[in-house]
Amino acid sequence: MEKLKVGIIGGGRIGRVHAQSITNLVPSAEIIAIADPFMNEKLESWAKDIGIKETFKDPYDIINHKDIDAVLICSPTSTHTELIQASAKAKKHIFCEKPVDTDLKRIDETMNVVRENDVLFQIGFNRRFDHNHNDVHKAVMNNKVGDVHVIKVTSRDPEPPSAEYVKGSGGIFLDMMIHDFDMVRFLSNSEVKEVYATGAVLVDPEIGKAGDVDTAVVVLTMENGALAVIDNSRQAVYGYDQRTEVFGSKGCAKVENDRKSLIEISTKDSVESEKPLYFFLDRYMDSYATEIIDFINSVQNGAPIKCGIEDAIRPVEIALAASKSLKEHRPVLISEIAISK
Amino acid sequence: MEKLKVGIIGGGRIGRVHAQSITNLVPSAEIIAIADPFMNEKLESWAKDIGIKETFKDPYDIINHKDIDAVLICSPTSTHTELIQASAKAKKHIFCEKPVDTDLKRIDETMNVVRENDVLFQIGFNRRFDHNHNDVHKAVMNNKVGDVHVIKVTSRDPEPPSAEYVKGSGGIFLDMMIHDFDMVRFLSNSEVKEVYATGAVLVDPEIGKAGDVDTAVVVLTMENGALAVIDNSRQAVYGYDQRTEVFGSKGCAKVENDRKSLIEISTKDSVESEKPLYFFLDRYMDSYATEIIDFINSVQNGAPIKCGIEDAIRPVEIALAASKSLKEHRPVLISEIAISK
Amino acid sequence: MEKLKVGIIGGGRIGRVHAQSITNLVPSAEIIAIADPFMNEKLESWAKDIGIKETFKDPYDIINHKDIDAVLICSPTSTHTELIQASAKAKKHIFCEKPVDTDLKRIDETMNVVRENDVLFQIGFNRRFDHNHNDVHKAVMNNKVGDVHVIKVTSRDPEPPSAEYVKGSGGIFLDMMIHDFDMVRFLSNSEVKEVYATGAVLVDPEIGKAGDVDTAVVVLTMENGALAVIDNSRQAVYGYDQRTEVFGSKGCAKVENDRKSLIEISTKDSVESEKPLYFFLDRYMDSYATEIIDFINSVQNGAPIKCGIEDAIRPVEIALAASKSLKEHRPVLISEIAISK
Amino acid sequence: MEKLKVGIIGGGRIGRVHAQSITNLVPSAEIIAIADPFMNEKLESWAKDIGIKETFKDPYDIINHKDIDAVLICSPTSTHTELIQASAKAKKHIFCEKPVDTDLKRIDETMNVVRENDVLFQIGFNRRFDHNHNDVHKAVMNNKVGDVHVIKVTSRDPEPPSAEYVKGSGGIFLDMMIHDFDMVRFLSNSEVKEVYATGAVLVDPEIGKAGDVDTAVVVLTMENGALAVIDNSRQAVYGYDQRTEVFGSKGCAKVENDRKSLIEISTKDSVESEKPLYFFLDRYMDSYATEIIDFINSVQNGAPIKCGIEDAIRPVEIALAASKSLKEHRPVLISEIAISK
């Protein structure tokens, strides 16, 4: 069988993670080219080392490459809609990092171009592929939990971003909690109907000056009647805190944090165990690999896309509703925000 | 030293629990009388067996008893304000089961009578005395958690009440979540400023017909800026689910559920451990004992009351605000509700 | 129904614990007398306070008391055989603290007197009644574990005894590990066939000078073919370490240590939880109560004795075999030691 | 910097695992050749796919290859001594799967050849590099545990080998517990002085007919005075059970089993969590990678070998002493077995 030929747009950290995953773990695919406007000697040497033959500065050298079957778009968010549309028109299958955009209209247009050109599209909500959260999802889908009543997601970063970063981030809901909005949809197998958001500046006053909050608790009412709650903090000093729970008529499924090892040390002072994994790439490495393996499996073998067009749109709607809710201090219906059906 | 003489009003389950605790665990006090309008042979025989000499039908036989130093009011909520006021006027120290009342004005008046008569008053939010939740509180007070940012309380009953009970209960916020409102205050060492409540009927449609919800998620904004979230369900099929968590600038303190034993059985099918304790008296027995031990310690030795007049008022305010929030579908300030300062 | 009348011989810590358990938890029984050669004002006052009417110096005032149905022998080990024999001849049912004696011949004679007089006899291996270990036993009896292959018992004290105490203790196997020998029998539902003991002086050289070891690992071969291992230490600085595990053809059942609370505190330094309960009465309080409740239930209602004559004999045999094994540096068969069948 | 050139002898499962680890995780090294007597098209194609240019049938084509700096010996145990000696004489650095041999004299001779030729030698006790066990080792080395008193290792396979395999395996001590003997040395930072072994045939009578036991409990006395115990079973139906514990004067460090995910599902029947990882490659994959990374780091950067010549000899001595102990039913000193110093 011929290998699937993949091109990567964006040679930053996440682009390189995906390149490594395919090289190491997907013998049926090969990355034949990578493009980055800041292509330099170091990046070229890295590419060569893992067997990528062609390097470009211009993403259109990937998009228009006649040998390439699928592109991974790992460039900054502001470039996503243009590159997705061009790739779709060039009949390439597309994996794109989240989010497609922060403007719903542009997302909607872009998804329409994807649909019209009949290419496969996967959005990079990697946490769906995490061994822990995915097992909670499976417990729900296998009816171990029964009808879903309450979904709880705790998501706290180990270190706050700079106020500078926050300014351009679109705010905590679009930048950080968007993962958790998708997680609630994924775990509950239902869509969000209404959002009520609370927020506070408790970690860093500079984040407040930048117009954002650093601590947020959001309540969601789901279309199937369930209630969900997400709490976010920009700083958990003990590490990356990532826990989910689904409670329902037949029981409750939940996951605690992964740790580097399971050591437990008992002394006269206490019983100590390891902190949660600190860095998101340590915590979610398996999910980054699995999402790409699954994407290539969809392209090559027709397996259904597990995180597709709907998933590119809905979390952004929820995030925008949450921002509006926080600003207007009232519950906001998704239908006030949504432009697509 | 002379023993403290205690009278109990109400010979129901909780009155008998307190009688047993004092008899077994507080050698410096003795219960000399119990009153219950339904006093009968069985109750008299029980009283005799544990050494209570006098039994009455009329609570005023306790209140006006010249030998009695302190009364425990364990009768139905509707009788609390009258009995508290009468006991205070009779200069008895008072322990009263929660809540004092569901009407804030009546609570306020009653607390004023308590203040004017200069007697000690303790309200029965027993969970403050629980070994688990109290250790979280201590971690906060000892600054292990730093500034409090987020408080989370999960509280799910093993079995739903009858719709009949629900009708007279005042609703889930006054009947059930009131414990959790107090818990949030206790754990955060701060008062609630604003409440937003969501609710759903997911457990039993009859509860909905009775005008209540059986599943609720409530977000609280605290006066110190922290955010809190409580989730309640009238039915967790796996048992009584009672977990708390406080997250702050220096870390996170949390407790999981108590179990009957720590057995873990690994088989070819799974690794099984025990479910949470099912019955509230099993789960909270130590807290019922400790609150009474502490009350008697306050009366005899002047130790500060750990759960007093303020704690009788504030949780009711929060519950009323939550009911209003659910009804009006908007965040409600405590200041919209509160009548006392 | 008439209450069972109980007399206690020995007013030390454990005698008082049993008195309290019966007074608080067994309404169908009453302690009417207690005897202690060091009976004094303080002990008399304590007895009066919990409702014991008669106090004696001479144990025979209990044994020959015409109203007493059952005696609890809580006096020093050296007095046990005499008091058991006298009580049996006086037709009293007997609960005796472990061990009956350290001399097998005397134990055998004494048990014969018990048998001849047809009174009930229970020996105080309280750990059989512990909520954790008993659940492991039940898992084995309910065939959750299948055929038993390996039994593991970890038992470490929080603080070493004085060398003075060690001298008169009969050594670590008779004084401390005897509980674990019984536990292995209880958990495996089988008898020990052979013992191999290793020991070391690692905690306190004074214990070595007193002729004993303070650390020991013993391997047992069971009559049903299973293998067992026990490790003891006289000092675990983190508290009282009490864990058991049974592994078999269908799975593995195990229990970890009880803790004061389930709090878990995550900080930038670590995740801390509570140490095991430190004091044996804290750890095993429920088992002391349950064994006495069960004993009285056997006397009053004919329930089978759960820890009887065989259990008084076998652990001593194993302990003596272990001592011999350590001394002779070779595996020792129980049949080399046992004098009874 | 020039890449380290590695040759692999043996294209079986473990040889391919190491090839993959180097290819994926060690950019500073490359595998340039692999030899296997059963070299075939499939293996050649696999080699080509991961970038190995040369394939041979004869291991000497690796050993005598002028470009190769280091060899990984992953062929059957019976070939190890010859290949190690030849590689050493060819001045190649050597990584060899465990054990070097089952004959101490041959091991000793071989290690002398290694020493004389001054090449680096690492033996594949991979579990030393496991994230869990290595953290226990570090806790010991960092003096968190204080003086070591007791070491406990539980090691149970998910499925028993065939009786056919058992016959040629050298028995449970050389085939299976040898890992645990090394683990005890690693965790305690001390050598074994004496061994007492017990064993039973409880899993499969065919294993007994093949002259071996399938369940074993071994007690070790260490040179530093500590006591150790290892229990092995050829079949734990719930998965691969791999736990270690070190207890000492300052505390206790222990690790439980890794699981596929941390999901916990509470239902009306029980609280279920995941079984231990079942397959040894799932459980120990990180350790296989880390040992090879460390080996290459030693060769390239002079880092000390973490598992070297001593570690190739001592566990075999202990295994032989254990076999002798089981056969002769007595404790056996390592000095009765050892031929090297």
Given a contact cutoff of 8 angstroms between Cβ atoms, the answer to whether D11 and D33 are in contact is: no
Chains A, D: CB pairs < 8 Å: 84
* pLDDT of D320 strictly over 60: yes
Task: Specify burial of residue D66 (Cβ count, 10 A radius: 0-12, 13-18, 19+).
Answer: exposed
Based on C-alpha coordinates, what's the Rg of chain B?
A: 20
* pLDDT of D164 strictly over 70: yes
For residue range C123-136, list pLDDT tens digits in order. Answer: 999 999 999 999 99
Task: Calculate how close chain A gets to B249, using CA atoms only, in Å.
Answer: 7
Determine what percent of chain D is predicted with pLDDT higher than 70: 99
Closest CA to D151 of D181, D129, D173: D181
Given a contact cutoff of 8 angstroms between Cβ atoms, the answer to whether C190 and C224 are in contact is: yes
Element spanning B165, H or E:
helix B163-167
CB contact under 8 A, B262 and C255: yes
User: What's the pLDDT score for residue B340?
Assistant: 61
The answer to ipTM > 0.90 is yes
CB contact under 8 A, C276 and A267: no
Closest CA to C65 of C116, C8, C12: C8
* Span between the terminal Cα atoms of chain C, in Å: 39
CB nearest to B147's CB, from A147, A202, A221: A202
Q: How confident is the model at residue D101 (pLDDT cuts 50, 70, 90)?
A: very high
Query: Which residue on chain C is closest to D154 by alpha carbon?
Result: C152
Contact residues on chain B for C256, CB-CB shorter than 8 A = 262, 264
Closest CA to B263 of A280, C255, A36: C255
CB contact under 8 A, C271 and A268: no
Task: Calculate how close chain C gets to A136, using CA atoms only, in Å.
Answer: 23
Residues forming beta bridges with residue A220, ordered by sequence position: A195, A228
CA angle C331–C332–C335, rounded 5-degree value: 150
CB contact under 8 A, D198 and C152: no
Contact residues on chain C for B290, CB-CB shorter than 8 A = none
Question: What is the pLDDT averaged over residues D264-274?
Answer: 97
CB contact under 8 A, B260 and C131: yes
User: What's the pLDDT score for residue D339?
Assistant: 82
Within B49-131, strands assigned E span 54-56, 70-73, 93-96, 121-123
Contact residues on chain D for B236, CB-CB shorter than 8 A = 266
For residue range A233-256, list pLDDT tens digits in order. Answer: 999 999 999 999 999 999 999 999
How does DSSP classify residue D296?
Answer: H
Residues forming beta bridges with residue A7, ordered by sequence position: A33, A71
For residue range C89-109, list pLDDT tens digits in order. Answer: 999 999 999 999 999 999 999
CB contact under 8 A, C270 and A266: no
Contact residues on chain A for D263, CB-CB shorter than 8 A = 132, 135-136, 139, 253-255
Query: Which residue on chain C is closest to B265 by alpha carbon?
Result: C253
Q: Name residue, tokens 């049949």.
A: C335
Contact residues on chain D for B271, CB-CB shorter than 8 A = 238, 259, 272-275
CB neighbour list of residue D55: distance below 8 Å, 6 or more residues apart: D33, D34, D35, D36, D39, D43, D44, D47
Task: Calculate how close chain D gets to C223, using CA atoms only, in Å.
Answer: 12
Given a contact cutoff of 8 angstroms between Cβ atoms, the answer to whether A227 and B233 are in contact is: no
* pLDDT of A338 strictly over 80: yes
CA angle D175–D177–D181, rounded 5-degree value: 125
* pLDDT of C147 strictly over 80: yes
Q: Testing the interface with A: which of B150, B172, B254 to mutate, by most A Cβ within 10 A?
A: B150
For residue range D18-38, list pLDDT tens digits in order. Answer: 999 999 889 899 999 999 999
Q: How confident is the model at residue D244 (pLDDT cuts 50, 70, 90)?
A: very high
CB nearest to B258's CB, from C135, C250, C262: C262
User: What's the pLDDT score for residue C340?
Assistant: 61
Task: Calculate how close chain C gets to D252, using CA atoms only, in Å.
Answer: 8
Given a contact cutoff of 8 angstroms between Cβ atoms, the answer to whether B256 and A245 are in contact is: no
Scanning A26-77, the segments in alpha helix (DSSP H) are 41-49, 60-63
Residue A209, φ and ψ in degrees, nearest 5: -60, -30
Contact residues on chain B for C149, CB-CB shorter than 8 A = none
Closest CA to A240 of A172, A155, A316: A155
Contact residues on chain C for A267, CB-CB shorter than 8 A = 237-238
CB contact under 8 A, A144 and D267: yes
Chains B, C: CB pairs < 8 Å: 84
Residue D72 CA to residue D256 CA, distance in Å, equals 31
- Cis? peptide before B304, omega within 30° of 0: no
Given a contact cutoff of 8 angstroms between Cβ atoms, the answer to whether A251 and A210 are in contact is: no
* pLDDT of D130 strictly over 90: yes
CB contact under 8 A, A145 and D265: yes
Tokens of B87: 């006991």
Is the entire prediction scored with pTM above 0.90?
yes
Residue C207, φ and ψ in degrees, nearest 5: -65, -40
Determine what percent of chain A is predicted with pLDDT higher than 90: 96
Q: How confident is the model at residue C300 (pLDDT cuts 50, 70, 90)?
A: very high
CB contact under 8 A, D150 and C198: no
Query: Which residue on chain D is closest to C148 by alpha carbon?
Result: D202
Averaged pLDDT score across all residues of chain D: 96
CB neighbour list of residue D165: distance below 8 Å, 6 or more residues apart: none
Residue D72 CA to residue D18 CA, distance in Å, equals 8
Contact residues on chain C for B251, CB-CB shorter than 8 A = 265-268
Given a contact cutoff of 8 angstroms between Cβ atoms, the answer to whether A124 and A97 are in contact is: yes
Question: 3-state SS of C97-120?
Answer: CCCCCCCHHHHHHHHHHHHHHCCC
User: What's the pLDDT score for residue D85?
Assistant: 98
CB contact under 8 A, A237 and B250: yes
For residue range C23-32, list pLDDT tens digits in order. Answer: 988 989 999 9
Given a contact cutoff of 8 angstroms between Cβ atoms, the answer to whether D185 and D193 are in contact is: no
Given a contact cutoff of 8 angstroms between Cβ atoms, the answer to whether B179 and B127 are in contact is: yes
Based on C-alpha coordinates, what's the Rg of chain A?
A: 20
Given a contact cutoff of 8 angstroms between Cβ atoms, the answer to whether B25 and B6 are in contact is: no
Q: Is the dihedral of CA A236, A237, A239, A244 positive or negative?
A: negative
Q: How confident is the model at residue D340 (pLDDT cuts 50, 70, 90)?
A: low
List the pLDDT tens digit at each of the 341 positions of chain B.
789 999 999 999 999 999 999 998 898 999 999 999 999 999 999 999 888 999 999 999 999 999 999 999 999 999 999 999 999 999 999 999 999 999 999 999 999 999 999 999 999 999 999 999 999 999 999 999 999 999 999 999 999 999 999 998 999 999 999 999 999 999 999 999 999 999 999 999 999 999 999 999 999 999 999 999 999 999 999 999 999 999 999 999 999 999 999 999 999 999 999 999 999 999 999 999 999 999 999 999 999 999 999 999 999 999 999 999 999 999 999 999 988 65
For residue range A156-191, list pLDDT tens digits in order. Answer: 999 999 999 999 899 999 999 999 999 999 999 999
Pick the range with the lowest mean pLDDT from A199-203, B29-33, D80-84, D165-169.
D165-169
All chains having 3 or more CB pairs closer than 8 angstroms to chain C: A, B, D
Q: Is the dihedral of CA C50, C52, C55, C61 positive or negative?
A: negative
Q: How many CA atoms lie within 13 A of B58 on its CB side?
A: 6
Hey, is A69 helix, strand or coil? coil
CB nearest to B251's CB, from C131, C132, C266: C266
